[in-house]
Amino acid sequence: MDLLIATQNVGFSPIKLFLDADLVVKAVIIGLALASIWVWTIIFSFTIKMSGISRQSEKFESEFWESDDIGAFAKTHSQSALPVAKVFAAGMTEWRRSTNGKTIDRAGTRERLSTAMDAMIAAETDRLANRLNFLATTGSVAPFVGLFGTVWGIMRSFAAIAAEQNSSLAVVAPGIAEALFATAIGLFAAIPAVIAYNRFSHRLNQYEARMGRFADGFHGTLSRELEHEV
């Protein structure tokens, strides 16, 4: 407690450091603070979004495998925005196109079904991963932006030493403190971004694999249906 009071008395509180900082250091701190806010916004929104998608996908797949009429099931879920439902819709669309003629190319139909669903899986995975790029960028860049603020603060300290011709802590400490504060803000933005990006990438890979397993199962169902087509 005594150390905290003493630190505040000499002006080393975060708010005081920011207010006394150079314009360049202030710009660095503000930019990193905004990046940190956006990082946490993505973290919370993506967590909520993926939790909802996982629950709804589990329900969708359960209903699908329990359904006896694929056509009726397709009509019921035709407007669904669920990624796995879009994979299903892509398969159904290609199925109708390939079996609409008088003659059916079974091998070609199977290949087109696989291509259509794989393409939809890739598209939906890219759409879900769209905002994760910001996490990766922040995790890579934020420490260097903070380091830039650090270098600038140290340069300011040397300039103060040259102007005052005095190398005492009273002259050097403010610039060094600003520099270290910029570094801390950079790490505060980067560390959660890196952790979240790795975690969310793993979770997205799991969901992509889940869509792939559903597509394989659905492809098998339609392949067996082809055997009954004339």
pLDDT, tens digit (0-9, with 9 covering 90-100), for 137-166: 999 999 898 888 888 777 777 776 667 666
- pLDDT (mean) for 1-24: 59
Give tens-digit pLDDT for 51-84.
999 999 999 999 999 888 888 888 888 888 999 9
Percent of the chain clearing pLDDT 70 (strictly above): 83
- Give the pLDDT score at 7: 45
**Does 94 score more than 70 pLDDT?**
yes
Model-level pTM?
Answer: 0.80
> Which candidate, 208, 225, 209, places its Cα nearest to that of 70?
225
- Which of the pair, 173 or 5, is modelled with greater confidence? 173
- Give the pLDDT score at 209: 95
Length of the chain: 230
CB 119 within 8 A of CB 129: no
Cα gap 76→53, rounded to integer Å: 18
Q: Can you say whether the dihedral through the CA atoms of 48, 50, 51, 55 is positive or negative? A: positive
57's tokens: 């996908």
**Does 5 score more than 50 pLDDT?**
no
